[in-house]
Amino acid sequence: MKNYIILLLAVVSLSATAQINTLPVGSKAPDIKLKNIDGKLASFGDFPKAKGFVIVFTCNTCPYAQAYEQRIIALNSISTPLGYPVIAVNPNDPEISKGDSFDKMQERATAKKYTFPYLFDPSQKITNLYGAAKTPHLFLARKTDKGLIIEYTGALDDDPQEANASRTHYVEDAIKSLNAGKALTVSSTKAIGCTVARAKNKTSK
């Protein structure tokens, strides 16, 4: 009976997660208005001169997110002058992942000297609107006459294990292509990382 209950709970959890669909390229990027680590609300409107945004769903605790941390900081130093600042969102439910509480976010951002907003999404509303599946999971969005449109989604690069010095920089290359008026060579890749810690009652959009 005990094994049956465990199996049933696992099936229910998987079914709930399956309801979340990642926004595809060409979709309109949902607006973001969440609490930053400074305690103030942050949104796209805080960057009126931006051409678009690199929206990164990441966290404190995932080994993949930690491996990409310095590369995301480095990306922001490159992408912001090109018109695409990084906005990071912690998608994990802090009741499930204790190390992803707001206090822990503040501690890590200070220790690692984050140069970008790091936003708290405890209701997981924004996380589910985007359909973020992993940490990290990136969305590159560009301002257009039709609104903020997703141009790329997936991984930052092709080197999650930091084993290849000649890695392909998907997001950086995509930004440079957009600024040059060229079509993206790669517009979608598989996000590789830890599964977002979702509460069952927060899976509906």
Each residue's pLDDT, cut to its tens digit, for the chain (205 residues) gives 434 433 333 333 344 445 679 999 999 999 999 999 999 999 999 999 999 999 999 999 999 999 999 999 999 999 999 999 999 999 999 999 999 999 999 999 999 999 999 999 999 999 999 999 999 999 999 999 999 999 999 999 998 877 667 689 999 999 999 999 999 999 999 999 999 999 876 554 4
The structural domains of the chain, with segments of one domain joined by +, span 2-202
Q: Which residues of 99-118 are buried (b: 16+ CB within 10 A; e: fewer)?
A: ebbeebbbebbeeeebebbb
Quick: pLDDT tens for 160-201: 877 667 689 999 999 999 999 999 999 999 999 999 999 876
Q: What is the 3-state secondary structure (H, E, C) of 57-80?
A: ECCCCCHHHHHHHHHHHHHHHHHC
Q: Is there a contact between 65 and 138 (Cβ–Cβ < 8 Å)?
A: no
Q: Look up the CATH architecture of domain 2-202.
A: 3-Layer(aba) Sandwich (3.40)
Question: φ, ψ for residue 13 (rounded to 5)?
Answer: -65, -45
Q: What is the pLDDT of residues 53-70, one digit of tens each?
A: 999 999 999 999 999 999
